[in-house]
A = this chain, B = another copy of it.
């Protein structure tokens, strides 16, 4: 038996999305909660709190325009003072009336240019924040058969992306996310990993695929896609979350912990958490009825726990069982690791690093929730709208 090497856990770093700390919900209702940030500064402070308690979340992703500020350099310093760095810059081309029928794919050159310019602005933000990744999740699509020309939209998308890519710096990357559906209900212009892959390979080496774990058709084997993209050298980042139905944006690991385990097993198998790996791990969730800061703490802990379990797999024995067609033996080796309770081990690991052994309990005990609820009165709570 190989000795499990949990040292790889040291490489684990999970980026938090600023918007997870704002209000979000469904088309039916967005519930607000006391203490919700009004500004990007408060969002970053919340993210820093998660990192303080877990040691797992050193960076915060921003969303433009939701997190637009006048001085990104100052924001960068602000974050660093709180112990975190600014990470991925996410663009937004789905909330302007101009984008009703598309952005990078629009038939109207003026609208396409506006969307391209927005991405160039995002790259300028990246230059100021020191961010590496521009992440493009494109809401473009159509709702009715005939509404748009599927093929023409692809061609325009390719052209728009190529224009944006010219502005990506040598140390920067363009990461293209795909999504099965929503908000579009008939055609989504980047609906699957194949489409994202085709576009990023056409762009160049600094273009990568982003895999959001909630963005697939029912039944899709996500770990297969992880393995394939790692094999092809094009897995740029994850948007972690979980789902029972559509893009539910639940806490990662909440709906199907075994799936998360299998995904992380393939990440490790493909070198995705090795030092220097091109794979960025990020959360993308929508805390609808649950508390936000503990929701993010729970999420990064889930990723850590499942990574630890996946690292416990006895890969030598597994390979041997696979080669002899020992189906139950191979499956049993995997399940042994999954069923091992790594929580005590991780608690000790935290203690060794000066972190609270139980970050959820530590947060609850800290009185932080009550404090921000008291302090953050007045103003407008952040949400997807702003």
* Given the contacts A147-B322, A182-B246, A339-B343, A221 and B29 also touching, CB distance less than 8 Å: no
A154 touches B334 (CB 8 A): no
CA of A318 to CA of B182, assembled, Å = 24
Proximity bits, A240-279, B CB within 8 Å = 1, else 0: 0001111010110011111100100010011000000000
Q: Which residues of B contact A334 (CB under 8 A)?
A: 145-146
Number of copies: 4
Choice from B31, B147, B217, B250 contacting A220 with Cβ under 8 Å: B217
Q: Which residues of B contact A251 (CB under 8 A)?
A: 144
A101 interface hit (Cβ, 8 Å) = yes
B144 touches A254 (CB 8 A): yes
Give A30 Cβ to nearest chain B Cβ, in Å: 8
CA of A323 to CA of B256, assembled, Å = 25
Q: Which residues of B contact A193 (CB under 8 A)?
A: 192, 194
The A171-202 residues at the B interface (CB cut-off 8 A) are 180-183, 185-188, 191-195, 197-198
A95 touches B262 (CB 8 A): no
With a 10 A CB-CB cut-off, give which of A94, A151, A318 has the most chain B CB atoms.
Answer: A151
A24 interface hit (Cβ, 8 Å) = yes
B217 touches A146 (CB 8 A): no
Chain A contact residues (Cβ within 8 angstroms of B): what range? 35 or more
Q: Which residues of B contact A371 (CB under 8 A)?
A: none
Closest to A99 in B: B29
A77 interface hit (Cβ, 8 Å) = no
Q: Which residues of B contact A130 (CB under 8 A)?
A: none
CA of A249 to CA of B33, assembled, Å = 29
A223 interface hit (Cβ, 8 Å) = yes
Closest to A234 in B: B198
A227 interface hit (Cβ, 8 Å) = yes
A119 interface hit (Cβ, 8 Å) = no
Q: List 29 A-B contacts (CB under 8 A).
A: A107-B323, A143-B250, A143-B288, A143-B327, A144-B251, A144-B330, A145-B258, A145-B334, A146-B318, A146-B333, A147-B330, A148-B330, A149-B269, A151-B230, A151-B231, A151-B269, A154-B227, A182-B246, A185-B243, A185-B244, A185-B250, A185-B288, A187-B224, A191-B224, A193-B194, A218-B218, A221-B244, A254-B331, A328-B360
Choice from B24, B255, B331 contacting A146 with Cβ under 8 Å: B331
A256 touches B254 (CB 8 A): no
A250 touches B327 (CB 8 A): no
Of A7-15, A47-55, A162-170, A289-297, the one with at least 4 CB within 8 A of chain B: A289-297
Q: Which residues of B contact A343 (CB under 8 A)?
A: 339
Closest to A309 in B: B339
